[in-house]
């Protein structure tokens, strides 16, 4: 069985947007360093200067991370395992089929129950409903192929 990949975030952005993010990230970092070194205006407290510089540096680093394509979130289906990257800053989690006890499917999220009594929750976005349904269909097919129980639940509001 081939691996099937589904993006959990926004659609793949083009090269132009990636270059803009990289340039914007570099500009933010350079402005933060400039403010730390030259302090363009008299600042009543150095603490506020450090806070602003730290914020700009972190924001610039996040823009660079996204610009280099490291911040993608996805779910990838293999024959006997799932790879799930929910957080753009953490590495993906691999879930083997023999470690899964059951899967609960809700309209806007999915909960994976592991045999070690650990739960992993995957939240879907409200924007890409067709992608959410494709992922749910693939999860049902994966669970049928690996004899994993699936419960489809509805949430009452």
Domain ranges of the chain: 7-67, 90-152
Residue with tokens 């999915």: 110
Residue 58: the pLDDT is 95
Lowest mean pLDDT among 21-30, 55-64, 96-105: 96-105
Average pLDDT over residues 25-44: 85
pLDDT at 12: 59
Residue 64 has pLDDT above 70, yes or no: yes
User: Which stretches within 39-128 are classed as H helix?
Assistant: 46-67
Could you report the per-residue pLDDT of 121-142, keeping only the tens digit for each? Answer: 988 877 777 788 888 899 999 9
Residue 128 CA, distance from chain mean position:
15
Q: What are phi and psi of 20, to 5 degrees?
A: -60, -40
Residue 105 neighbours by CB distance under 10 Å: 17
pTM summary value? 0.75
């Amino acid at each position: 069985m081939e691996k099937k990949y589904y993006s959990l975030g926004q659609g793949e952005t083009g090269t132009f947007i990636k270059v803009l993010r990289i340039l914007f990230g570099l500009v933010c970092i350079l402005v933060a360093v400039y403010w730390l070194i030259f302090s363009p205006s008299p600042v009543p407290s150095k603490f506020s200067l450090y806070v602003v510089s730290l914020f700009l540096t972190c924001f610039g680093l996040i823009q660079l991370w996204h610009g280099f394509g490291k911040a993608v979130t996805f779910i990838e289906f293999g024959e006997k395992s799932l790879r799930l990257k929910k957080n753009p800053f953490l590495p993906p989690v691999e879930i083997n089929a023999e470690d899964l006890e059951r899967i609960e499917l809700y309209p806007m999220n999915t909960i994976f129950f592991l045999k070690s009594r650990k739960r992993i929750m995957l939240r879907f976005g409200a924007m890409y409903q067709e992608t959410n349904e494709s992922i749910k269909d693939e999860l049902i097919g994966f669970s049928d192929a690996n004899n994993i129980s699936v419960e489809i639940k509805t949430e009452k509001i």
